[in-house]
């Protein structure tokens, strides 16, 4: 009786299977397990706090009662949105948000670019590091502490600002309680706190500009101003356009923490924004459906602005975020 010959896998087949195993997704994850471990917490954060709560958007179209499941409430369609646009406090908050955010874009957006350009021109390394540390530090200070500093600095009775005015024989200024000064104070304090950290992105973009271009311009007799104007600025134009698109998408975010810390009843008419309005109506008054509708409107406007600005950037320059 003949026995069937046994087949022994060839070396090439073993090698092929080994390569297939090494090129598999799970092998790649295991090989870089420590990097994925670092990625795990941010991933879980976005899943738990950003994606799962999306289901709660449905209460914007319901007469939501706390304690009931989302599907167990009465559906009222767009009633909450109609109420929002007929609400004077919401329209006032919307107007304030647009004015403050637009002011931050007009005055605050170019500021980090200017800082990055100036830092790039500093040749003394030690002095440059000192300046960078000084302008980056405010970003890491919470708005609670920054707000306390601002309240102390502009205090009418013993604030440093009014003491300086008094020493020059000038009248004291009520910066924190005067509606005329409150919005500029919000814009300037936001610039002071965030401009330094935002300049890092533009500094990184500047380092990506080809150094040979600068060397060629020196041979042609270009000075530093001409290098900045004709080489550096065009070299970071893509980064500038991307950051502008992102900032324009958040035009309905005027800064909740900053405003909550500095807002008071005397300036509420010019300082209340959509975020603080949602906080007051949703958490303090318990009107979850109405506040969710306002928040959904804000997100929808931001999405439309990002998509529209991105398409406009592609049409003009041929470049965008995606």
How does pLDDT run across 186-215, given as a tens digit for each residue?
Answer: 999 999 999 999 999 999 999 889 889 988
Does residue 17 surpass a pLDDT of 70? Answer: no
Measured CA to CA, the distance from residue 295 to residue 274 in angstroms comes to 8
Distance set, CA 196 to CA 6, 109, 201, 253, 305 (Å): 72, 12, 10, 20, 26
Question: What's the whole-model pTM score?
Answer: 0.82
**pLDDT tens track for 214-227:** 889 898 888 889 99
Report the mean per-residue pLDDT for the chain: 87
The model's pLDDT over 24-51, given as tens digits with 9 standing for 90+, comes to 777 788 888 888 888 899 999 999 988 8
Q: What would the pLDDT profile of 109-131 be if each residue is shown by its tens digit? A: 999 999 999 999 888 889 999 99
DSSP 18-74: HHHHHTSHHHHHHHTHHHHHHHHHHHHHHIIIIIGGGGGGGGGGEE--TTS-GGGSE
In the chain, the percentage of residues whose pLDDT exceeds 70 is: 93
DSSP per residue, 62-117:
EE--TTS-GGGSEE-TTHHHHHHHT-HHHHHHHHHHHHHHHHIIIIISHHHHHHHH
Beta-bridge mates of residue 62: 75
Return the pLDDT at 158.
84
What is the spatial distance between Cα 120 and Cα 79, in angstroms, rounded to a whole number?
A: 54
CA distance 220 to 231: 13
Q: Which has more pLDDT, 20 or 185?
A: 185
Is residue 140 over pLDDT 60? yes
The CATH number of domain 75-317 is 1.10.3720.10: yes
Domain definitions of the chain by residue range: 75-317
Place of tokens 């529209």: 308
pLDDT higher at 141 or 31: 141
pLDDT of 23 above 70: no
Residue 30: per-residue pLDDT: 84
């Amino acid at each position: 009786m003949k026995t069937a010959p046994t087949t022994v896998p060839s070396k090439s087949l073993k090698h092929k299977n080994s390569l297939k195993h090494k090129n598999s997704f799970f092998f790649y994850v295991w090989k870089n397990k420590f990097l994925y471990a670092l990625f795990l917490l941010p991933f879980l954060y976005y899943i738990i706090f950003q994606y799962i709560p999306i289901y709660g958007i449905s209460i914007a179209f319901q007469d939501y009662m706390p304690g009931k499941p989302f599907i167990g409430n009465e559906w009222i369609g767009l009633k909450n949105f109609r109420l929002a646009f007929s609400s004077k406090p919401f329209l006032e908050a919307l107007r304030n948000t647009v004015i403050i955010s637009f002011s931050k874009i007009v005055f605050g957006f170019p500021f980090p670019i200017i800082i990055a350009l100036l830092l790039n021109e500093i040749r003394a390394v030690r002095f440059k590091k000192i300046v960078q540390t000084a302008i980056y530090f405010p970003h890491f200070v919470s708005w609670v502490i920054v707000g306390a500093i601002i309240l102390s600095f502009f205090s009418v009775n013993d604030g440093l600002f009014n003491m300086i005015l008094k020493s020059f024989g000038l009248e004291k200024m009520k910066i924190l309680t005067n509606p005329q000064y409150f919005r500029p104070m919000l814009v300037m304090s936001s610039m002071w706190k965030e401009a330094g950290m935002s300049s890092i992105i533009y500094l990184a973009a500047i380092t990506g500009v080809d150094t040979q271009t600068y060397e060629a311009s020196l041979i042609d007799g270009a000075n530093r101003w001409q290098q900045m104007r004709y080489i550096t600025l065009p070299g970071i134009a893509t980064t500038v356009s991307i950051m502008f698109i992102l900032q324009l998408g958040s035009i309905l975010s005027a800064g909740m923490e900053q405003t909550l810390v500095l807002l008071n009843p005397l300036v509420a008419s010019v300082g209340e924004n959509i975020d603080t309005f949602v906080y007051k109506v949703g958490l303090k008054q318990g009107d979850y459906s109405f506040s969710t509708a306002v928040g959904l409107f804000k997100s929808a406007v931001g999405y439309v602005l990002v998509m529209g600005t991105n398409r406009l950037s592609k049409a003009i320059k041929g470049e965008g975020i995606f």
